[in-house]
Amino acid sequence: MAGTTIKRRVAADGETLNRKYSVYIREKVNQLLQVMGSSPLKPEELDDETLLDLDPLGIIAGSFKQVLDHLKDTNRELTITHESLQAIFDATGVGISIIDRDFRIIKYNEKQRALLVDDGIGDVTGKFCHEVYCNKPSPDIDCPAVDTMETGRPVIVREAAKKGKHFQVVTTPLKDGEGNIMGVIEVLLDISDTKRARDAEREQRGFYLTEKSKLATILQSLSEGLIVTDKRGTIISFNNAAESITGYPEAEVLGLDRERFFDMLSLDERAVKRQERLVNRECSARSRDNRRLTLSLSSVPLQDGSGNYSGQVYSFRDISEEKQRQENHYRTEKLAALGELSAGIAHELNTPLGSILGYARLLMRDRDLPPEDRERLEIIAEQAIRGSAIIKRLLNFARQSTPEFADTDINAVIADSLKVLGEEIGKRRISVTTELGAVRPIRADKRQIEQVIINVVLNALQAVAAEGQVLIRTSSMDHSVVIGVHDTGPGISRDVRTRIFDPFFTTKPFGEGTGLGLSVCAGIVSAHGGAIQVESEEGNGASFLITLPVHRNTEQTT
């Protein structure tokens, strides 16, 4: 009995103990579950036996081990990240500081100290940023940190300066996990070198622009025409004088190829295209309004800084008038010399010719003279008379009288001249037409100008020969009246054109012309201060252009 009772008591005690252990384990499991964020176990979910079989403490211990391992890994990663960030913070080329809401400096790097902290000041952690960075007792209203702190938006200050350095400031908000602004991260980018380079560039650009403007003014004010091309031959500059001489506006020429423009000018410059350097080459050209020009052209190649060919500069002067004056001068001098010579010869020949004629006539009075001798004497007399006539013309040429100037209506002079030529025109099937413009009267010797017109028109009629057209045109140009006599004859070769105004030069058969007509005309026109020139292409007729100046006081009367 006693043994049974003891056994029963031992069994009861064991059960009680197991019960206590179960309760203890359940309590500890629930505690751990609560730590893990789970609700406690309910007896109906798991009875004690199932709970013990599950080994909950073992499970949770295993899980906690993994949680701790994970935390260790996370801490290691955080440490590495922190160290990396610190290294970047210190080594970055920009100044960085972190400022709290009270504008105290929490953290800053050495670059920030170099840019903003005055020399001799120690650690500034915990000090007010406005005192340390800006030397001010309180933050300015335009402080970017204040702006970012208030608005939560980043702010950029393009340029700020301190300690002789220039920098850009960027402030960005520092927020906590819930988006509240805890402070400001201020980043400074040192732009001193960039600014210096930019200032130097601006200065250089200003200098360049000033020089460019000066050069442009100089080019535009030059009296010489100037064309500049790039290395491909495209025209990149065309000054005022070039416009004025050629008649082409700058806008029409810029961008054109050099050779294309020279073709437009009919510039006789085959040599120019092939040569890089020219000095005062005399070239003929035509202006936009088809005026014949004589240009003195120079050309120099341009080089860049490395000595490479970078373009070409052409400069030119219009020497048309100069050339014409020169020709007139030579012609006048030649005429004067020939006049003197002719007068001398004429005077010396006149006396013997007079004797020859006189004695021939005296002999012809003899009534017994055989008929063949009479005939010979008549030939002698006739030739003496002819020689005398030539001498008379020579004397006329030599004694060209000084013009007697009076107000003269050129159109009326032309009409009178054509009346004189009526018989000559009537002999031929030539249509002579006039296009007489409303020209101003000029100061001229009417008789001499009539002589010029008759001579030139007669030449045109003789050139056209049997059938064709002659057009006489008058027009005004600048301060001159231009008389043009155009014919549809065979034209005049270049060789003849250059000598056509020379005295005694003639293309007519021997004995039919003295070669003095056009020479006398040139002399008269020259004495009037004008010019006569011929334009012609073989096979395409010829044009004589007589330019006579309008006298100032006659100009005012119209």
222 lines the binding site for other proteins (CB under 8 A): no
70 lines the binding site for other proteins (CB under 8 A): yes
Instruction: Report the residue from 10, 12, 17, 54 that binds other proteins according to the rule CB under 8 A.
Output: 54
Least distance in Å: CB of 179 to other proteins? 23
Site string for other proteins, 14-53 (x = CB under 8 A): ---------------x---x--xxxxxx---xx-------
**How many other CB atoms sit within 10 Å of the CB of residue 428?**
16
Least distance in Å: CB of 47 to other proteins? 11
73 lines the binding site for other proteins (CB under 8 A): yes
Least distance in Å: CB of 79 to other proteins? 17
CA distances from residue 46 to 34, 42, 51, 55 in whole angstroms, order as listed: 17, 7, 6, 12
Least distance in Å: CB of 42 to other proteins? 8
Helix (H) or strand (E) holding 227: strand 225-230
Least distance in Å: CB of 63 to other proteins? 5
Q: Copy the structure tokens of residue 157.
A: 């200050």
Beta carbon nearer to other proteins, 74 or 540: 74
Beta carbon nearer to other proteins, 37 or 122: 37
Site string for other proteins, 189-218 (x = CB under 8 A): ------------------------------
Least distance in Å: CB of 85 to other proteins? 22
Least distance in Å: CB of 126 to other proteins? 36
Question: Is 262 within 8 Å of 271 (Cβ atoms)?
Answer: no
Q: How far apart are CA 210 and CA 205, in angstroms?
A: 8
**Number of residues in contact with other proteins, rule: CB under 8 A?**
23
- Mind spelling out the 3-state secondary structure of 268-316? CCHHHHHCCCEEEEEEEEECCCCCEEEEEEEEEEEECCCCCEEEEEEEE
Stretch that binds other proteins, among 60-68, 349-357, 361-369, 411-419 (CB under 8 A): 60-68
Question: Is 238 within 8 Å of 254 (Cβ atoms)?
Answer: yes
Q: Which of 476, 387, 465 is nearest to 428 (CA)?
A: 465
67 lines the binding site for other proteins (CB under 8 A): yes
Question: Is 522 within 8 Å of 532 (Cβ atoms)?
Answer: yes
Q: How far apart are CA 167 and CA 73, in angstroms?
A: 41
Least distance in Å: CB of 51 to other proteins? 9
78 lines the binding site for other proteins (CB under 8 A): no
Query: Can you list the alpha helix ranges (DSSP code H) found in 480-546?
Result: 494-499, 517-527
Q: What are phi and psi of 551, to 5 degrees?
A: -70, 145
Q: Which of residues 146-165 bind other proteins (CB under 8 A)?
A: none
Beta carbon nearer to other proteins, 63 or 280: 63
354 lines the binding site for other proteins (CB under 8 A): no
Beta carbon nearer to other proteins, 73 or 123: 73
Chain-centroid distance of CA 158 in Å reads 37
Beta carbon nearer to other proteins, 54 or 362: 54
Q: Which of 556, 557, 551, 552 is nearest to 443 (CA)?
A: 551
Least distance in Å: CB of 56 to other proteins? 5
Residues 6+ apart with CB under 8 A from 240: 220, 221
60 lines the binding site for other proteins (CB under 8 A): yes
CA distances from residue 159 to 146, 149, 227, 380, 429 in whole angstroms, order as listed: 17, 20, 46, 114, 93
Binding site for other proteins (CB under 8 A): 29, 33, 36-41, 45-46, 54-56, 59-60, 62-63, 66-67, 69-70, 73-74
